[in-house]
């Protein structure tokens, strides 16, 4: 489906409008859209932990030609970064060669310049259309702005962030990006799971109010043994207990889907698994529905316009079966419940590492195309 701006531009394309004027008006001609889609967006990665490595691995594994990583800042020895990319305890062995030479890393797509500093003011991001801020230390546009000062044309933060121009969930609101959007948040992995599902259901049957629980695998900020943490729940050993904690995913949904602002809240339960999580959403629908109605709505969306980010899997699977899944949200129809026609419960799985990392690459590509 063409966007409104593209459709409008088709009628304008053969008229005597200067290209610069169309660009200022936010209108993209079909010819310009085709040109942008052929472009390769150059990417830098700041922070080579779980999300940084998974994003690079995805781009290489998928042989994507729309994005190309050219620079990486990874604190620690270069050989350590290469080793952790080659051998991943969650996602398995990298299916290609990882070569290191003269301060660069090469996955067969050309050498990437490697830095190793905790101080972003020492970095050189010249030549990077988009820098992926993946350290978790600069989740504020004012702090992440240092990357723009160091030569990046735009920044995508891999977490919910303050002082950004937009929070973008690919497949839901990424078409709202416009030229000049240079400081963007990719939201959270949980918001990326919840948003496609909520969008489809709200448009079809309405979401009046609801509560979401994310049943979430432990993450790197949780300890293997008890230690100090600002969140006393997360101070406990990650693999030894189910740990209740907080999430801002439901509230953040209002930034992505304004129609749902203030209608949802949520909580989180960290569980002793290393990867793959689930969103359990209970809501009051705007009209009477059946289980079959709800499942068919999601099935049609997953088979159609939302298929890149929303999956539909009727098989009786468990969390590990969704490891390394690229979609943001995989709906489990056998888990749908409806009480009294309007109280609806649904469940969707998501690979909180890999799926989110794929979306980082997708949004970076969308941002980079707007720069040219």
Q: Residue 305 — φ and ψ, nearest 5°?
A: -70, -20
248 annotated to a ligand binding site: yes
- % helix / strand / coil in the chain, to the nearest 5? 35, 25, 40
190 annotated to a ligand binding site: yes
352 annotated to a ligand binding site: yes
Catalytic residue among 128, 134, 189, 193: 189
189 is known as an active-site residue: yes
Secondary structure (DSSP) of 147-178 = HHHTT-S-EEESS--BS-SEE--TTTTGGG--
- Report CA torsion sign: 44, 50, 53, 58: negative
Q: Residue 132 — φ and ψ, nearest 5°?
A: -90, 115
93, 137, 292, 319, 361 from 277: Cα distances, Å: 22, 23, 25, 7, 20
219 annotated to a ligand binding site: yes
270 annotated to a ligand binding site: yes
247 annotated to a ligand binding site: yes
72 annotated to a ligand binding site: no
158 annotated to a ligand binding site: yes
CA distance linking residue 182 with residue 71, whole number of Å: 18
234 annotated to a ligand binding site: no
Q: Which ranges of 177-311 does DSSP label H, i.e. alpha helix?
A: 189-205, 249-256, 291-303
Residue positions forming the annotated binding site for D-glyceraldehyde 3-phosphate:
188-190, 219, 247-248, 270
Residue positions forming the annotated binding site for NAD(+):
50-51, 158, 352
Residue positions forming the annotated binding site:
50-51, 158, 188-190, 219, 247-248, 270, 352
User: Would you please indicate which residues are annotated as catalytic (active-site) residues?
Assistant: 189
């Amino acid at each position: 489906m063409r966007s409104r701006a593209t459709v409008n531009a088709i009628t304008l394309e053969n008229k005597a409008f200067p290209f610069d004027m169309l660009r200022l008006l936010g209108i993209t001609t079909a010819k310009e859209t085709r040109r942008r889609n052929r472009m390769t967006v150059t990417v830098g990665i700041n922070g080579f932990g779980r999300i940084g490595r998974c994003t690079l691995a995805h781009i290489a594994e998928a042989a994507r030609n729309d994005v190309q990583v050219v620079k990486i800042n990874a604190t620690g020895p270069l050989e350590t970064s290469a080793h952790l990319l080659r051998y991943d305890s969650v996602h398995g062995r990298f299916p290609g060669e990882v070569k290191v030479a003269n301060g660069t890393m090469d996955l067969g797509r050309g050498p990437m310049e490697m830095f190793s500093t905790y101080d972003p003011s020492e970095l050189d991001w010249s030549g990077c259309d988009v820098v992926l801020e993946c350290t978790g230390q600069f989740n504020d546009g004012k702090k992440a702005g240092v990357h723009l000062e160091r030569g990046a044309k735009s920044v995508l933060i891999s977490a919910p962030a303050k002082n950004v121009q937009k929070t973008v969930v690919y497949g839901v609101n990424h078409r709202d990006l416009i030229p000049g959007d240079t400081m963007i948040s990719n939201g959270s992995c949980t918001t990326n799971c919840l948003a496609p599902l909520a969008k489809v259901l709200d448009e079809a049957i309405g979401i009046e109010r609801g509560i979401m629980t994310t049943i979430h695998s432990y993450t790197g900020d949780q300890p293997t043994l008890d230690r100090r943490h600002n969140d006393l729940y997360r101070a406990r050993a990650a693999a030894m207990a189910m740990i209740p904690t907080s999430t801002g995913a439901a509230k953040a949904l209002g930034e992505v889907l304004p129609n749902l602002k203030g209608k949802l809240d949520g909580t989180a339960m960290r569980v002793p698994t290393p990867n793959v999580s689930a969103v359990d959403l209970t809501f009051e629908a705007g009209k009477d529905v059946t289980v079959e109605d709800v499942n068919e709505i999601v099935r049609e969306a997953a088979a159609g316009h939302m298929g890149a980010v929303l999956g539909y899997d009727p098989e009786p699977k468990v969390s590990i079966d969704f490891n390394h899944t690229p979609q943001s949200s995989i709906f489990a129809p056998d888990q749908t419940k409806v009480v009294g026609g309007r109280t609806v419960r649904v469940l969707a799985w998501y690979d909180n590492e890999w799926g989110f990392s794929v979306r980082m690459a997708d949004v970076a590509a969308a941002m980079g195309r707007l720069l040219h």
